[in-house]
């Protein structure tokens, strides 16, 4: 295993990491390694493609007849 030394860690970041490590019952080192592994193993999301797919999906949904919905509401059925 390799060793890595971190320098100039801001005090507030160190405190937050230490607090998270205690909360998760890990050492500070284990907490940092877990977070690094999670960051690098997370899938890369193409937000533009996701947005495009969502817009295409929504465009395929049937349109609601709002006059019909309002009529049902007045009848207490919706």
For the chain, how many structural domains are there in total?
1
Provide the pLDDT for residue 77: 60
DSSP 25: T
Is 65 part of any domain? Answer: yes
68 belongs to a structural domain: yes
Which residues neighbour 21 within 8 Å (Cβ) at sequence distance 6 or greater? Answer: 27, 28, 30, 31
Look at residue 1 and tell me if it is in a domain.
no
Range 1-23 average pLDDT: 95
Q: Answer whether residue 2 is part of any domain.
A: no
78 pLDDT more than 70: no
pLDDT at 74 (0 to 100): 86
Is residue 24 included in any domain, yes or no? yes
* Residue 3 within any structural domain of the chain: no
Buried b / exposed e over 14-36, threshold 16 CB at 10 Å, is: eeeeeeebeeeeeeeeebbeeee
* Domain assignment present for 55: yes
Please report the pLDDT score of residue 68 as a whole number: 85
């Amino acid at each position: 295993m390799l060793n890595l030394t971190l320098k100039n860690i801001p005090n507030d970041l160190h405190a937050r990491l230490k607090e998270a490590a205690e909360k998760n019952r890990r050492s500070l080192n284990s907490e940092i390694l877990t977070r690094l592994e999670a960051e690098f193993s997370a899938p890369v999301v193409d937000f533009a493609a996701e947005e495009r797919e969502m817009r295409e999906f929504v465009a395929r949904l049937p349109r609601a007849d709002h006059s019909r919905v309002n009529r049902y509401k007045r009848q207490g059925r919706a």
